[in-house]
Amino acid sequence: MATPFLILLLIIFFVAILLFAIVSIDLYLSLKMFYNRLYFGKWQSIEIWINAVKKVNKTWLKKTPTVKLTDNDKYVVFDILKGRYKSNTIQSWQEAGCLLGAIHTEESKKAIDLFIKQKIDLATSTWLQKPEYVDGAILAYAISKTNIAPQKLKPAFDDIITLIESFKGNDGTVFYRNYTSTIRFVDTIGFICPFLTFYAQTFNKPEYIDLAFKQIEAYVDKAFLKQPFIPAHAYDIKKNLPLGIYGWGRGLGWFILGVVDMYIELDALHPKKETLKNMIIKTAESTLPLQKPDGGFNAMMGVDMSRHDSSITSLAGWLFYNAFIITKEVRFLNASKACLNCLMKVTRRSGAIDFCQGDTKGIGIYATTFDVMPFVQGLTIRLAESLKKNNND
């Protein structure tokens, strides 16, 4: 029979082991972050830099890292044990960003083929694991940009349409999650509008262009400042009330992604094309004064104490580039190039773009951690390649 003294020794031993594990994991993650950020931003040219960015993106397309969910940097072991350290629910748009970047890279062709085979059974053209949330629409949109004929993948695209329809509320617009069915999030505009437009025009279903435009138009009406033209995080359709803050960077980014890519997808003769064009210019006009001297944007735009966020910086660059294509105004081109230069300065020596704001916890509850994000990695490649093509034309 164990003596009380021996039992006490065992308890002390196991507590010591637990404390050692807690401290070791925290120390390891802290040192890893410190090491990754040594000498970052030291790039000799944009060409060398973007090649490194592409190399990382190709690796992430093969195995997309999950984004850190918790903001804690102490006692991380408890978050890991409780399943709160990382989240798989936001993987669709992380993978979509990677794919949108990879299609601009010749050497990523095999990685793209492998990625699609991991998502879709090409024999039946159905999802191997059907998306459960509207986030999946942006992944379907990215897949539509690959070399596979859209008609071949129609069953998988039909599943996304069915999913979006199931998330449609009584007001005719699409909600983000079932448990917030009376709230409309700006994120949803970026998730669904480009895909709906692609699907409508590819399969002759014009009602889905109407749905995409209604999603945008309702949001502008209910949750936008008139001047400057920037969105709130969300709005409640029952209370007719904007929610969250105006000026959350990635929130504006979601709107940019939805409107700009819908505009690009839309047929030149479509009557909504002009409205979207004017909306892009208006958004660019309002976003330009919020750009920092280094070319980047803060997570909370216009707030000097807020930290730089690479996600809004990459999407603002996309906005400015397309505003330039529309207007031919050099100020927009210069602003887009400044975004790209800023992204280069916050890239680790590995080629991973840093300082992307982490996953949002809820309306008005924004991440305080800033790290790498596959979504931004891919969209930066798309921006860089578009600017390069413009210089060559």
Residue 93 sits in a domain whose CATH number is: 1.50.10.10
Residues 277 and 218 both lie in one domain: yes
Mean pLDDT of the chain: 90
What is the pLDDT averaged over residues 200-216? 98
Residue 326 to residue 324: CA distance in whole angstroms: 5
pLDDT of 80 higher than 80: no
Give the residue with greater pLDDT, 60 vs 42.
60
Reported confidence tier of residue 208, pLDDT bands at 50, 70, 90: very high
* Cα–Cα nearest to 342, from 133, 25, 46, 72: 46
Residues 150 and 233 both lie in one domain: yes
> According to the model, what pLDDT value does residue 82 have?
55
> According to the model, what pLDDT value does residue 310 have?
98
User: How many degrees, rounded to 5, is the angle at CA 381 between CA 272 and CA 319?
Assistant: 35
Spatial neighbors of 279 by CB under 8 A, at least 6 apart, are 216, 220, 259
Residues 96 and 19 both lie in one domain: no
DSSP letter (8 states) at residue 304: T
Compute CA distances 338 → 8, 41, 342, whole Å. 63, 14, 6
Residues 235 and 288 both lie in one domain: yes
**Run of H or E residues at 326:** helix 310-327
Count, in order, helices (H) and strands (E) of the chain: 14, 9
Residues 148 and 18 both lie in one domain: no
The pLDDT tens digits of the residues spanning 258-282 come to 999 999 999 999 999 999 999 999 9
> According to the model, what pLDDT value does residue 195 have?
98
Instruction: Name the least confident of 69-83, 322-336, 340-354.
Output: 69-83
> According to the model, what pLDDT value does residue 14 have?
72
Residues 186 and 84 both lie in one domain: yes
> According to the model, what pLDDT value does residue 352 have?
97
> According to the model, what pLDDT value does residue 71 have?
52
pLDDT of 393 higher than 70: no
Task: Evaluate the omega torsion of the peptide bond into residue 228 and state whether it is cis, within 30 degrees of 0.
Answer: yes
> According to the model, what pLDDT value does residue 83 have?
55
Instruction: Name the least confident of 36-40, 144-148, 210-214, 220-224.
Output: 36-40
pLDDT of 306 higher than 70: yes
Reported confidence tier of residue 149, pLDDT bands at 50, 70, 90: very high
Reported confidence tier of residue 297, pLDDT bands at 50, 70, 90: very high
Q: Domain residues for 377?
A: 45-69+76-392
- Counting the structural domains of the chain, the total is 2
> Is the separation of the CB atoms in 213 and 272 below 8 Å?
yes
pLDDT of 69 higher than 60: no
> What are 240-244's contacts with CB under 8 Å, separation 24+?
243/183, 243/363, 243/364, 244/363, 244/364
pLDDT of 76 higher than 60: no
What is the longest distance spanned by two Cα atoms in the chain?
A: 88
pLDDT of 2 higher than 70: no
CB atoms inside a 10 Å sphere around CB 251: 27
Residues 172 and 147 both lie in one domain: yes
Token pair belonging to 148: 């596979």
Residues 163 and 284 both lie in one domain: yes
Give the residue with greater pLDDT, 180 vs 27.
180
Token pair belonging to 255: 């709107």
**Residues counted in the chain:** 393
Strand, helix or coil for residue 78: helix
pLDDT of 73 higher than 90: no
Token pair belonging to 313: 């910086």
CA 241 to chain centre: 25
Hey, which residues does 241 pair with through a beta bridge?
Answer: 236
pLDDT of 295 higher than 90: yes
Compute CA distances 199 → 40, 257, 280, whole Å. 41, 17, 22
pLDDT of 29 higher than 80: no
Residues 320 and 266 both lie in one domain: yes
Helices (H), 82-170: 91-102, 109-119, 136-144, 154-166
Residues 281 and 365 both lie in one domain: yes
Residues 32 and 49 both lie in one domain: no
> According to the model, what pLDDT value does residue 109 have?
92
The pLDDT tens digits of the residues spanning 330-382 come to 999 999 999 999 999 999 999 999 999 988 878 988 888 889 999 999 999 99
CB atoms inside a 10 Å sphere around CB 315: 29
Residues 139 and 210 both lie in one domain: yes
Q: Given the DSSP bridges, would you call strands 370-371 and 120-121 parallel, antiparallel or unpaired?
A: unpaired
CB atoms inside a 10 Å sphere around CB 102: 27
The pLDDT tens digits of the residues spanning 5-26 come to 777 777 777 777 766 666 666 6
pLDDT of 89 higher than 90: no
This prediction's pTM? 0.91
What is the pLDDT averaged over residues 174-189? 96
Dihedrals phi, psi of 306, to nearest 5 degrees? -75, 155
pLDDT of 237 higher than 70: yes
Instruction: Name the least confident of 38-52, 83-97, 170-184, 245-259.
Output: 83-97
> According to the model, what pLDDT value does residue 33 have?
66
> Is the separation of the CB atoms in 302 and 291 below 8 Å?
no
> According to the model, what pLDDT value does residue 84 have?
55
pLDDT of 294 higher than 90: yes
Query: What percent of the chain lies above the pLDDT cut of 90?
Result: 75
Compute CA distances 17 → 14, 32, 77, 85, 125, whole Å. 5, 22, 13, 21, 51
